[in-house]
Structure 1
């Protein structure tokens, strides 16, 4: 008899093999996997008492905490669907998502509860709100008291099929309403097995949860680190000093984060030079980093840099940039260049780069096409949005909207989003390439490059720059630096200095806001090809 691939198996395995191990750390609280399993059973019993049934949606608005973690397994035991909410949205966004998903119960952290208050009376499906870390004056169910009243006995689970939806993740739309990505138990289960292999996850690992767990479940980490019995440390607010503090205190060995967060950690290191005894590897996704950035991480910090690539609709990542053993004899600069790429396809994943005719581009690292993916991780579709589903999944391949190349070794390099390619005088310019050059400047902390209108060339690259503390730069110095390093048509033609760049909760720079604001101020409309 076949055993369905369902996510509850990962915690079952952890309890069986690592039950007595101190495994989950949140603030000053430490739980074994057996203790977490007891809390998960209490949660499932409580949800059943609230009327939650198989297929119902249960929403979570919370930072990275033990309460958020146990939510995944507690919800899944009922066959219900987890709806993790981005913690940086506006009340109107939560109103749309909660009503669109028809969520039945909402768990919310006390710090985020004020975002729900303005919309409470407009929620059409939410029957109960449970507040974690509740303050005395908050008029909702108190999570701790409610959980304590439930049974710790094993919960009689609903029968699950591996193709049942487990998570509904809403992508942040810049135009129109967000879309709900339906991921199944099979999607996340097989992704977890592949990730365990490629990221070398073992029971002696200590994971620091930096990436928010609403963000594709923190890249699926609650599943594969649990399944292999790793210790997991939860951090409500991820700042450079708090990350370093947890890293040193708990001897953290692995962290997942966006490049901007890693950049902040490097700035902290330069000032404080903390001494790290253990081996550390960092898993990075987002804009492709310049090879010089990888060099600094590996040679200054002594950490292993692993770039991955993916998106919510793919469960999420489908490629990894570790260097194959037969390529270890390449010159160091070439190895770092490989590490900076999106990488090669993971096991069970087919990734192609195709031109407008659907034909694969040459494996020369030069010809650009769109990245398309066929894999076990491709989403079931968008929740109640068949039209967008059909636009995204064609002939079995999910079209990512990312433009890239593929080299002779099979490594994919993302050169830009379709909407971020700059077309200047008929020439295509990768904003990522230009940003990579700017990051080489010793006074630049962060940079984002977007297309801006130009009377002669149609559009040209414009840089938004954050300088390092104590450093000063002029627009002409930045322009001159880019002209020294790039073909002149790729060089920036203007610079705006800013205190900070707009970012998502995971730390990804939101270039769409920079671009749209600039075009509006200039009296132009952003080109239609930029629309998300």
Structure 2
């Protein structure tokens, strides 16, 4: 690692002045600087130029903040000088967690483009759809996933392949590194023109890049998973990304001492804005290309990791790994998709890992609601604490507080915001979560119909069902599509899953609706047992009967080796439902 020497594209200028600031459009008054997450990188390079910005141990790569600022500027100029480039063009990124995908969130924005990260777990057909729908004119792709790029592309599309070398093997061996080198040459050419015209007053480095005139200019286009149809492109802005990053840095207590481990895929909802949040906090990005429990534990034990994001299923794998041991430093993990069970909470705490339960969607820049801990909880039994932590909580610092509104007849004839009726704050009445404000998407890209279905009467409707407790915190009961309606009774699949997960023999479980002649639907549970443990379906049903209403007990139980999951570790209920449908049960 210490022997790594960055290529020219990633080296700061030899002269004293780098120009680590964006030029502000002259039309703006002195009291306005457009909010853009690009500014975080320039600030970090100015304050801590020689601090590690990126550590990529698998490849022996390490960039300081001033080197990374140079590298991202080289990328910006490389993109700006591709054939037929114009502001607002989309740049697709097909990559695992690598320096390339993180620097894309700076270089593409600086070029005036829209970063469009694609899910590497999608197949060729799905990738082709997103590339066509987004109209991407440049594709940055990691060599391992180059097979996902369609063979037949429009003639105006530029494809750049990265070998993830960081330039240490020479720029000629890596197309992406050669691309960056070209960008560096264009940067130096533009700088020379400035100096030839203005002398010492000429702009240098990042001063050659102008901040967006309108901070609401789109900067990212992130596609949903498409579990209920075609993926939808969520368009977000410079301003929203800046504020979401500030919120994540604050809410998850990132500081200049933080080392953030990239477990969450950086392509997922722009990495929940953590590519910017970690940099805003002047922390260090620690990269691994995939979720590998062995590598994760090496990073946690030996490299001072302090933060990461992961779904409960990922954490289940970590706490049950042979290398699991109590850490000397406190590690915070942002947990989403579902709440940590009492058993998982205890296991994490025993390892000095503190879960921060949050909730969000791609449409909200990732997490935007968090459960705020109270000091008195430390005196409670773990089961009681787990029940409190399971609530999703309140809106982030920069976000408006969410609402939970009645569904059904009360809201069938909504004409304006005044007709939206909130549920009672009793922890019982179920309604839909709606939100608005700084952390709401702009729109669904090129999909007016879908946008109008989701954004109504000034509010973004999430489709998630929840209750509001007397303390004001929201608590998700289920997605509308995941509710099981059995004999007229609404059953929360999440509530049933929480109870099943509390059984000492269960590693994880999932419950979906299965058609039933008499009841319309009943629950069908898919269960993964802990290694070496045994449990029968009847024993599990008996356990469920003691903890829930009879109608909520799963009618069918299958024991499986693994559950189908998304790239972020979220169980794919749509796959399980489709499997049942194809089986014609």
| Range into which the TM-score falls when normalised by the shorter chain | over 0.9
Matching of residue 427 in structure 1 with residue 489 in structure 2: yes
**In the alignment, which residue of structure 1 is the partner of 2:334?**
283
Matching of residue 255 in structure 1 with residue 300 in structure 2: no
1:98–1:126 CA contact under 8 A, matched in 2: no
**In the alignment, which residue of structure 2 is the partner of 1:337?**
387
Question: Judging changes above 3 Å, is the alpha-carbon distance between structure 1 residues 125 and 207 closer, same or farther for their aligned structure 2 residues?
Answer: farther
Deviation (angstroms), 1:120: 2.1
1:318–1:349 CA contact under 8 A, matched in 2: no
Question: Judging changes above 3 Å, is the alpha-carbon distance between structure 1 residues 359 and 327 closer, same or farther for their aligned structure 2 residues?
Answer: farther
Matching of residue 444 in structure 1 with residue 502 in structure 2: no
Q: Deviations over 1:50-75 (max 9, x none)?
A: 13331111110000111111111111
Question: Judging changes above 3 Å, is the alpha-carbon distance between structure 1 residues 447 and 83 closer, same or farther for their aligned structure 2 residues?
Answer: same
Q: 1:49 aligns with which of 81, 84, 98?
A: 81
Question: Judging changes above 3 Å, is the alpha-carbon distance between structure 1 residues 410 and 291 closer, same or farther for their aligned structure 2 residues?
Answer: farther
CA root-mean-square deviation: 2.0
Which aligned pairs between 1:99-248 and structure 2 lie closer than 5 A?
99-116=132-149, 119-121=150-152, 123-124=153-154, 127-133=157-163, 142-151=175-184, 154-155=205-206, 156-160=208-212, 161-248=214-301
* Equivalent position SS for 1:387: helix
Q: Deviations over 1:283-319 (max 9, x none)?
A: 0110233344323322x22221101101000112221
* Equivalent position SS for 1:462: strand
Q: 1:265 aligns with which of 318, 340, 348?
A: 318
1:78–1:158 CA contact under 8 A, matched in 2: no
TM-score (norm 2): 0.84
Q: Which moved more, 1:241-250 or 1:407-416?
A: 241-250
Deviation (angstroms), 1:327: 6.8
Q: Distance in 2 between matches of 1:198 and 1:216?
A: 18
**In the alignment, which residue of structure 1 is the partner of 2:40?**
10
Q: Distance in 2 between matches of 1:482 and 1:43?
A: 56
Q: Deviations over 1:65-114 (max 9, x none)?
A: 11111111111111110000001001111111111111111011111011
Instruction: Count residues with an aligned counterpart.
Output: 515
Q: Distance in 2 between matches of 1:444 and 1:396?
A: 43
Q: Distance in 2 between matches of 1:410 and 1:330?
A: 21
Q: Deviations over 1:318-339 (max 9, x none)?
A: 2111214577777764443221
1:48–1:78 CA contact under 8 A, matched in 2: yes
Q: Which moved more, 1:308-317 or 1:142-151?
A: 142-151
TM-score (norm 1): 0.93
1:288–1:432 CA contact under 8 A, matched in 2: no
Q: Distance in 2 between matches of 1:73 and 1:17?
A: 18
Q: Distance in 2 between matches of 1:140 and 1:25?
A: 21
Matching of residue 39 in structure 1 with residue 90 in structure 2: no
Gaps of 5+ in 1: 524-532
Which aligned pairs between 1:286-365 and structure 2 lie closer than 5 A?
286-298=337-349, 300-324=350-374, 333-347=383-397, 348-356=399-407, 357=411, 358-365=420-427
Gaps of 5+ in 2: 1-29, 189-204, 412-419
1:106–1:126 CA contact under 8 A, matched in 2: no
Q: Distance in 1 between matches of 2:384 and 2:368?
A: 22
Q: Which moved more, 1:40-49 or 1:204-213?
A: 40-49
1:294–1:339 CA contact under 8 A, matched in 2: no
Q: Deviations over 1:17-65 (max 9, x none)?
A: 1111122101221111001011111111211221333111111000011
* Equivalent position SS for 2:357: strand
* Equivalent position SS for 1:150: helix
Deviation (angstroms), 1:470: 1.9
Q: Deviations over 1:189-210 (max 9, x none)?
A: 1111222221111110110011
* Equivalent position SS for 2:76: helix
**In the alignment, which residue of structure 1 is the partner of 2:196?**
none
